[in-house]
């Protein structure tokens, strides 16, 4: 299934049914009086978050959605039938906003969370409601109100605790394969990853977290180079970013420090909030370095890059250092979100329950 994380839709809620101007007509009942019923309510359109859906592909081509109109009122004090509402099921993590103004309407971050997108019109009033002691044969009634029409933007931001940053071929997909059951494509050419991949990392029986791998960034992404910034939105909900750097590139002319700085610059251009998130440096592919030169290479990189925060040395291919890194991540997440409130009776986090409903 093609991964679609952004689309626009046009919604038209149903019109309310007209009220009725009717009079009672029965044998042996002269001048029966008004008995016109009310019109039915027009159908509304709702969005419902569904954890069994992971893409917006259903709305890529089916862009126009209409609800039915309410039925008109009838005589004998019979109200018209209200139209059924339309439910648009979207992935958990979908943000709905107005297409023209960009104003957010709702953020569907929990399973079965429901939000009204377009309200159906109210039904009209029948002449029964207009009768009085001075108006015994009213012919007044009201028309049904029109339903709302909107053009909205659906944007999916995946739910994950940890996000991976790095240049193409830095080893992000290999890392997520090493620490979780996710199996993204791995190859020896750039941009192997074309859409976000999620993996559940289970540290022990009672603790786990969700990690997100997005396509690699390159310098100039803000101007549209490579895959641009289109997937960085999926890191907006994360609590921690891992900046993975290839410490031993095959091309001797490649400067790991320059590439690492380019990632930081692109992140800052995209969003200051994302730039300010906690970020750890992960030096990968140490298996390609001779054991005697590993320490010197790492020390030189940290000095040239000017990095004084938390850093880790791993080999995603061999698994060296990966377990220690996952334990450190779990400890950080427990501190930031509270290990007691973040777990349910089965030991799953809220985000993991969204991805693993069977657990």
Lowest-confidence segment of 96-100, 135-139, 197-201 by average pLDDT: 197-201
Q: Which residue has the higher pLDDT, 312 or 55?
A: 312
174-207: pLDDT as tens digits: 888 888 876 665 655 444 555 677 788 888 877 8
* Res 311 pLDDT > 60: yes
Report pLDDT for 218: 58
Domain ranges of the chain: 6-156, 162-355
Alpha helices by DSSP H, 96-150: none
Contacts of 196 (CB under 8 A, 6+ apart): 3, 5, 158, 212, 213, 214, 215, 231, 234
The class of domain 162-355 in CATH terms is: alpha beta
Which alpha helices (H) appear in the chain, and where do they start and end? Answer: 58-61, 172-179, 256-270, 272-275, 291-305, 322-337, 350-355
Asked if residue 40 has pLDDT above 70, the reply is: yes
Task: Give the mean pLDDT of the chain.
Answer: 81
CATH 3.40.1190.20 fits 6-156, yes or no: no
Q: Is the pLDDT reported for residue 227 higher than 70?
A: no
User: Residue 66: what pLDDT?
Assistant: 95
The pLDDT of residue 96 is 93
If one compares 48 and 256, the residue with the highest pLDDT of the two is 48
Matching residue, tokens 């930081």: 264
- Percent of the chain at pLDDT exceeding 90: 25
CA–CA distance from 231 to each of 4, 158, 356 (Å)?
Answer: 11, 10, 23
**Burial class (CB within 10 angstroms; exposed 0-12, middle 13-18, buried 19+) of 101:** exposed
Specify whether the CB–CB gap between 60 and 4 falls below 8 A.
Answer: yes
| pLDDT above 70 as % of the chain | 84
Q: What would the two tokens of residue 180 be?
A: 């979780």
Rounded mean pLDDT, 317-338 = 86
Place of tokens 């018209």: 80
């Amino acid at each position: 299934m093609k991964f679609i994380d952004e689309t626009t839709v046009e919604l038209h809620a149903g019109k309310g049914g007209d009220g009725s101007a009717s009079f009672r007509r029965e044998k042996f009942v002269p001048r029966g009086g008004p008995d016109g019923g009310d019109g039915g309510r027009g159908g509304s359109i709702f969005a419902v978050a569904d954890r069994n859906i992971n893409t917006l592909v259903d709305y890529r081509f089916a862009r126009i959605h209409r609800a039915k109109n309410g039925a008109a009122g009838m005589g004998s004090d019979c109200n018209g039938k209200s139209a059924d509402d339309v439910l648009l099921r979207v992935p958990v993590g979908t943000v709905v906003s107005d297409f023209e103004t960009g104003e957010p309407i709702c953020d569907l971050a929990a399973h079965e969370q429901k939000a009204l997108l377009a309200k159906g019109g109210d039904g009209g009033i029948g002449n029964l409601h207009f009768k009085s002691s001075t108006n015994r044969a009213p012919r007044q009634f009201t028309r049904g109100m029109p339903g709302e029409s909107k053009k909205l933007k659906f944007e999916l931001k995946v739910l994950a605790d940890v996000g991976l940053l790095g240049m193409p071929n830095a080893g992000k997909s290999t890392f997520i394969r090493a620490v979780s059951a996710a199996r993204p494509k791995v190859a020896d050419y750039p941009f192997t990853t074309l859409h976000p991949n999620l993996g559940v990392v289970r540290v022990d029986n009672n603790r786990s977290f969700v990690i997100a791998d997005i396509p690699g960034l390159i310098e100039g992404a803000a101007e549209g180079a490579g895959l641009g910034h289109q997937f960085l939105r999926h890191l907006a909900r994360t609590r921690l970013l891992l900046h993975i750097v290839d410490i031993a590139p095959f091309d001797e002319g490649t400067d790991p420090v320059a590439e690492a700085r380019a990632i930081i610059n692109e992140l800052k251009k995209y969003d200051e909030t994302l730039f300010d998130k906690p970020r750890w440096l992960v030096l990968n592919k140490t298996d390609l370095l001779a054991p005697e030169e590993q320490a010197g290479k790492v020390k030189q990189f940290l000095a040239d890059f000017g990095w004084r925060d938390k850093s880790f040395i791993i080999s995603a291919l061999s698994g060296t250092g990966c377990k220690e890194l996952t334990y450190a991540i779990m400890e950080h997440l427990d501190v930031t979100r509270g290990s007691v409130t973040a777990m349910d009776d089965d030991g799953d986090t809220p985000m993991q329950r969204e991805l693993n409903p069977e657990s």
